[in-house]
Structure 1
Amino acid sequence: MTHPTAQFTAEQTATALPYAALAKAIEALLRDPSVSVPPRTVMPLPGGGSLFVMPATDARVAITKLISFVADNASRGLPSIQGDIVVFDAVTGQRRALLDGPTVTARRTAAVSLLAAQKLAPRTDGPLLIVGAGVQGRSHLEAFAEGLGVREFWVHSRSASSANALVAHAQSLGLQARRVDAADAAQAHCPLVVSTTSAQQVALRGTPRDDAFIAAVGAFTPRMMEWAPEVCRDLLARGMGVVDTRDADHEAGDLLQADIDVSALPTLADVIAAPREVRGPVFFKSCGWAGWDLAAARLVSSAA
């Protein structure tokens, strides 16, 4: 019997993936020994972008994520990330769903940061400083409001209009928000910091607080970076570093360019398996993994 493929629009994909539920789905996936995620394939594109092919499976669901990333697409009026996630029945091989790739990417990345904050943040009351007011800035704002109950947000962006738009979005959700023009200075007032820039250059050189939780999201290749190398070294000397997966060993540009031995840092799965005592600031480096997309597909499949 042939089952029709359910095709989800961006809006339908977002509705199917509430942040708090997705964070729980990600934690459940990290406890599931049947999950298999091979290294992703990254192919350079002639125009300077990249094509990502990211498969993953567990005992029931298999997915392939196929997306492109072009950092300067904003200048063309186009999104930086485009593509789809195809969901299959792992037993029969039948195609079951087609999810909007950029929406899944935005929501699962924010849900991973949310889960890390739930497990590691010394303080969760905010304010949360968001550096980079694009799609990921918006998704992280929504995720931390929904999953941690943060009510106050400070927003910094190289584009004042982008920062103002994210501030207005926060206020439309009944949250307190303000634009800040000096991200480094703002860190002194914010125990929560999320960096979601295009990571083409260093965006943060200030010293985070001793009780800071930082989710560094923008840099996901060895050449990209958002945080100055000396800040990364200081953070790990004063506190602890955690990476999303072992793929970060060769992808975490912020840490690699600071000459930090990334392979010595625990992963989010390690933290969930054996909770750590948190002392000092926490630097959580997120690079992305097809397992997060599989968690999203599992959540959609279970609801269906």
Structure 2
Amino acid sequence: MTLLLTPTQTAEALPYPALADEMDALLRDPDVVVPPRIVQPLAGGGSLFVMPAADARVAITKLITFIPDNAARGLPAIQGDIVVFDALTGQRTALLDGPTVTARRTAAVSLLAARLLAPRTDGPLLIVGAGVQGRAHLEAFHEGLGVREVWVASRSAASTDALVQHAHRLGMSARRVMDADAALANCPLVVSCTSAQAVALRARPRTDAFVAAVGAFTPRMVEWAPEVCRWLAAEGLLVVDTRDADHEAGDLLQAGIDVHALATLADVVREPPTHRHQGPVFFKSCGWAGWDLAAARCVMKGLAAAQ
């Protein structure tokens, strides 16, 4: 029997701290295989992503579309599903809501990176971009790091106010800020999750900052000004989520940075730093089917424990 999880059920099966733990375990698992994803351009300017991954027990394929201008249609930018199979029998075991998994696993990756690399984790947290990823990162950093204060910057006043109100419902202190560049001086935790169609941040983060740059996941997308990325490369620590970032990390590629020379999150997990890095940390997240496999593993473990 295939378990069909609604968006709400999918979210409930993926608590952020547990999902981050599962990602840590996946990066240590030698049986994990993740081939390159297929990105098929669509006629309207969007993309179809086909992303398989497997370990010794679980196999998945993520099938999602990304349509950047869907907000104008009143539709989500990401739509689709994650199909989960038993790797031994080939039986389909679950169908997970693709947008929910994408939001939660992306935020959980940032949470894991912050756990390992952030010079300090007490906040305030600055979120630039108040969409789905802004909400997911707010929840992940609140649940996983205990962050109590958040500042929100977005081009949409309605989206900003909605995220601030959500933070208040979680018991957090929250405020709307008009100038994200100015706010960087006050926030040691930063998440940029804009639509990445143009540079959104031109100021330098604090020297004790941890930045999770999420929005740009193709070579043409960008959130951070090239001169800031070059300063970070000279004065801070740059880490990418996987080697796929070598050809996808738009912020860094457009700054002329040799992405292939940067450490990945797997490198950090396998050889944790003995002390916190001195200087800002810039974590560039581009996405990887392995994160979706970790989500499927987390869901299946939770279901097995409940039986």
Name the TM-score class by shorter chain. Answer: over 0.9
2:285 corresponds to which residue? Answer: 286
Is 1:255 aligned to residue 252 of structure 2? Answer: yes
**What secondary structure, in the 3-state scheme, does the structure 1 residue paired with 2:229 have?**
helix
Match of 1:182 among 163, 179, 189: 179
Match of 1:99 among 96, 101, 107: 96
2:114 corresponds to which residue? Answer: 117
**What secondary structure, in the 3-state scheme, does the structure 2 residue paired with 1:203 have?**
strand
**What secondary structure, in the 3-state scheme, does the structure 1 residue paired with 2:80 have?**
strand
CA distance in 1, matches of 2:74, 2:158: 15
Is 1:67 aligned to residue 82 of structure 2? Answer: no
**What secondary structure, in the 3-state scheme, does the structure 1 residue paired with 2:223 have?**
coil
CA distance in 2, matches of 1:14, 1:175: 21
Is 1:90 aligned to residue 87 of structure 2? Answer: yes
Q: How many residues align?
A: 301
Is 1:131 aligned to residue 96 of structure 2? Answer: no
What do residues 127-183 of structure 1 show as CA deviations (whole Å, max 9, x unaligned)? 000000000000000000000000000000001111000000000111110000000
Runs of at least 4 residues off by over 3 Å:
none
CA distance in 1, matches of 2:280, 2:272: 16
The alpha carbon displacement at 1:59 in A equals 0.1
**What secondary structure, in the 3-state scheme, does the structure 1 residue paired with 2:200 have?**
coil
Q: In structure 1, what residue type is equivalent to 2:252?
A: L
Match of 1:57 among 39, 54, 60: 54
CA distance in 2, matches of 1:208, 1:39: 32
CA distance in 1, matches of 2:264, 2:25: 15
Q: What RMSD, in angstroms, separates the aligned Cα atoms of the two structures?
A: 0.5
Identity of aligned residues (%): 77
What do residues 60-107 of structure 1 show as CA deviations (whole Å, max 9, x unaligned)? 000000000011111110000000000000000000000000000000
Is 1:39 aligned to residue 33 of structure 2? Answer: no
CA distance in 2, matches of 1:21, 1:303: 10
The alpha carbon displacement at 1:303 in A equals 1.5
Q: In structure 1, what residue type is equivalent to 2:159?
A: S
Can you give the 5+ residue segments of structure 1 that lack an aligned partner in the other structure?
A: none
Is 1:12 aligned to residue 12 of structure 2? Answer: no
Q: In structure 1, what residue type is equivalent to 2:288?
A: W
Is 1:235 aligned to residue 235 of structure 2? Answer: no
The alpha carbon displacement at 1:302 in A equals 1.1
**What secondary structure, in the 3-state scheme, does the structure 2 residue paired with 1:92 have?**
coil
2:297 corresponds to which residue? Answer: 298
Give the TM-score taking structure 2 as reference length: 0.98
The alpha carbon displacement at 1:122 in A equals 0.2
Q: In structure 2, what residue type is equivalent to 1:108?
A: R
